[in-house]
Amino acid sequence: MDAAFHEKNTRGYHSAIAGMKMPAEPTSGRFSPDFQSVLTDIARLIEVRAVSLYTPHLAPHDPRAVWAATGMPQDALNEYAAYYGTLDIWAQAASRDAPPPRGSLIDTDELVRVHDLRSSEFYNDYLKPYEIGRSLTCIVDDGRLPGFPRVRLSIMRAETQPRFDAQDKAVLGAMQQLFRTVMRLHQNSVAAGEQSQLEVLAFDRLKEPIFLLDADASVLASNETARRIAQSDPRFQLLRGRLVFAAAGHNAELRAALAALEAGREAPIFLRPGGDAAGGSPLTLILSRPSGLAARQAQDCFALQVLDADVTGADDKELLMARLGLTDAESVVALGIARGLSHEDIARSRQTKVSTVRTILQRLYDKLGINKSTELSRIVYQTLSHDIFLR
């Protein structure tokens, strides 16, 4: 590789890296690559008509998918995903024996005869309007790793432009590793976002109120039920961001418990203050240091769970009923799914029909705002863990 090409390729790497934009909130640690900028940088390195990065087996609206291009409109990608992908004679020729593995470079001039291409619907109805006649594609990822889709990067030229030569292929080959890293970061970011959304969902779906407090009883976070309590229950109130009880004695007990946890106590503290002067019923509180946080974060963070009744010692089914507001049947089905049982296994254990189990499962999905058994399983385990919102 000569020095001029090496310098040109190095500029492309630095330019592509510079094009990756970090999210607006630097504290989140989330990665949000700007694929459009990276594709534009490739177009500066190689003479092309258009460049595209796409996940052919995923719809554009799938959060794991990437459909980005420069030199051709977004509508073209949408058309390919919706219809022309199944007519792509280049892709069909490349996959004739088996899907090409990661790292493959596919030169369409070597795949399909010009006559066959020009007589195809794919060419006449899709490629020709965008002045595309040849393509060089690399398989960024082959989709064999669980959780990561097949990803292709294509650089395209018009028929009147020259064929791709060895230097073009060398540049694209060098960019594959960069894009593989970018896609890994992108997919990790998507997975983290899905996990975060699920944790928030599980936290807010808990029937019992939970407050996250610092050592001074200031509220760091709370779930939906806790927020309602703070607004409507006369036994609680928020005073300048701190959680306080109507009875002064209750606040003293809370401060003492917080001090004990701050001093290093690991076991949860159960507080059972009596009814207040307004005639409210006795409270059952569990105060603990969440184990799901790193040591530095956990120093000033404590979870206060407010229970209407003492659920210590309750089995998993009762906990799901108490914390998520599920019925007996819904709890049994949810636990069965979380433990990997089939619909038939659950039906046998309940001595009911499989159709009944499926009906209950759909009711669970509607109640929890989800649509997958994997999400249900994770909510179940997180709900039973006491640390569901911190894992």
Q: Looking at the predicted structure, is the pLDDT value of residue 325 above 80?
A: yes
Class of domain 314-391: mainly alpha
pTM comes to: 0.45
pLDDT at 278: 46
- H runs (alpha helix) in the chain: 3-18, 35-45, 74-82, 89-94, 114-118, 121, 166-205, 224-232, 248-262, 295-298, 316-324, 328-338, 343-350, 354-368, 373-383
| Residues near 88 by beta carbon (within 8 Å), at least 6 away in sequence | 80, 122
User: Domain locations in the chain?
Assistant: 3-199, 206-312, 314-391
Residue-wise pLDDT for 339-380, tens only, equals: 778 899 899 988 899 999 999 999 999 888 888 888 888 788
Contact call for residues 245 and 235 (beta carbons, < 8 A): yes
Does 206-312 match 3-199 at the fold level? yes
Residue-wise pLDDT for 141-190, tens only, equals: 888 765 667 889 999 999 999 999 998 888 888 777 777 777 766 666 66
pLDDT at 312: 41
Report which residue type is found at 358.
R
> CA 28 → CA 32, 103, 182, 189, 298, distances in Å?
11, 32, 18, 11, 18
State the average pLDDT over residues 30-44.
70
Q: Which one, of 293, 222, 216, lies nearest residue 254 by Cα?
A: 216
Neighbouring CB atoms inside 10 A of 191's CB total 14
What 3-state DSSP class applies to 159? coil
> CA 345 → CA 254, 356, 357, distances in Å?
46, 13, 10
Domain 3-199 sits in CATH at 3.30.450.40
Q: Are strands 105-107 and 242-245 parallel, antiparallel or unpaired?
A: unpaired
Residues in the chain: 391
Q: Looking at the predicted structure, is the pLDDT value of residue 304 above 60?
A: yes
Band of the pLDDT at 13, cuts 50, 70, 90? very low
Q: What does the block give as tokens for 354?
A: 């499989």
Interatomic CA distance for residues 332 and 340, integer angstroms: 13
Q: Which one, of 223, 269, 270, 217, lies nearest residue 245 by Cα?
A: 217
Band of the pLDDT at 59, cuts 50, 70, 90? confident
Q: Which one, of 248, 180, 251, lies nearest residue 213 by Cα?
A: 251
Instruction: State which fold the 206-312 domain adopts.
Output: Beta-Lactamase (3.30.450)
